Amino acid sequence: MKDKQEDVEKEINDLNAKIEKLQNSIEKLDNQIIETRRNIKQLNQEIKKLEQEFEEQQELYRERIKVMYMNGPTSILEVLFDSQSFSDFLGRAEIIKAIVENDRNILQSIYEKKLEIENKMKEIREKEQNLINMQYEYSSQKSELDAACKEQRKLYDKLEKDKAYLEKVLKAEQEESKLLEKQIKEIQARQNKNKNYGTFSKTGIIKVSDLGYIPRVTSPFGMRMHPVLGYARMHNGMDIAVPTGTPIYSMAKGEVIIAKYMSGYGNVVIIDHGDGLTSTYAHLSKILVSVGQVVEKGQMIAKSGNTGLSSGPHLHFEIRKNGTPVDPAPYYIVGQ
Ligand SMILES: [Zn+2]
């Protein structure tokens, strides 16, 4: 039974690595697609401008031909043979040559403009083909990711029924929670007690616009009878089920005092908001801030995940007063 449990854990870890790789790749593709679309739009604008210039030059040249035709080529010859002397003849021939040269330059410029337009159109066609390929790759990676997440969920369901695993998760959570309490107290004692981040006001740590739905709170704060273990245990935060990669925003203005990896909490960020109040965000896939950084209310600080000992992708959200966990529910907001 124990071997089986460890196999499942290993399988989950492998899947985690795969999911993380896919998510990074999808994010990169998404950025490339946006960039390519922007490029195409810009090229289209450039072509529009070039076509306008092309039209104008053509119109100008048409006018010129018309004038020449009206005066007739004979008039040019007349001008030439009406010369009073040989040097006069040469002078007039020079002028005509200059006129012809000028015409050639205009025609050359028109031709070049047309070539430029064609090149840009070719570039657009290539970029569009590229875009199609990237979009195809994007959707295929997306479905691969969905499949991996589903597979992982199944494995977690299996683990959630496994008492030994659950006890390990809960024990690590309790021990690290105590450790964090100590660390937060030390940091707060060291720091200036009068640190002021302005009037405290809070905002959503998760946004509906990122998820497309209001996420479910899977485990609230406090002593709870555990359905599988069959005994009560303390939960120091609240768990919110969100898929890996969900943007996490700072509850309020404050200073990052902890941003690190812990074996139980996984990637964790703790922000000090003054007056001994801290907010904690755990099991993150990505930390986007560093210790000492002052973050604004609603600033993106991390991406949610499944790191550390966790039974499936979720955010573990804690509020502490002078290091001691309190019920985070009054502070928990889902933004629009
Ligand atoms: Zn939790």
Residue range 80-90: mean pLDDT, rounded: 83
Higher pLDDT, 13 or 238: 238
For residue 18, is pLDDT > 80?
yes
Lowest-confidence segment of 83-87, 257-261, 294-298 by average pLDDT: 83-87
- Whether the predicted model's global pTM rises above the 0.75 cut: no
Ligand 1 centroid distance, CA of 239 (Å):
5
Ligand 1 centroid distance, CA of 220 (Å):
8
The mean pLDDT value of the chain amounts to: 88
Ligand 1 centroid distance, CA of 240 (Å):
8
The confidence score (pLDDT) of residue 163 equals 80
Ligand 1 centroid distance, CA of 236 (Å):
7
First vs last C-alpha separation in the chain:
45
Ligand 1 centroid distance, CA of 281 (Å):
10
Distance in angstroms (rounded) separating the CA atoms of residues 230 and 223: 13
Ligand 1 centroid distance, CA of 326 (Å):
13
What pLDDT digit, counting tens, does each position of 121-168 carry? Answer: 999 999 999 999 999 999 999 999 989 888 888 888 887 778 887 788
319: left (phi over 0), alpha (psi -120 to 50) or beta: beta
Ligand 1 centroid distance, CA of 324 (Å):
15
Helix (H) or strand (E) holding 165: helix 163-190
Four-residue CA torsion sign, 198, 204, 205, 210: negative
Ligand 1 centroid distance, CA of 89 (Å):
99
Four-residue CA torsion sign, 61, 64, 70, 76: negative
Whole-number percent of the chain with pLDDT over 90: 54
Helices 2-81 and 86-160 pack at an angle, to 10 degrees, of 170
Domains, the chain, with CATH or none: 2-156 (1.10.287), 164-335 (2.70.70.10)
Ligand 1 centroid distance, CA of 6 (Å):
22
Residue range 224-246: mean pLDDT, rounded: 86
What band does 290 get if pLDDT is binned at 50, 70 and 90?
very high
Ligand 1 centroid distance, CA of 72 (Å):
92
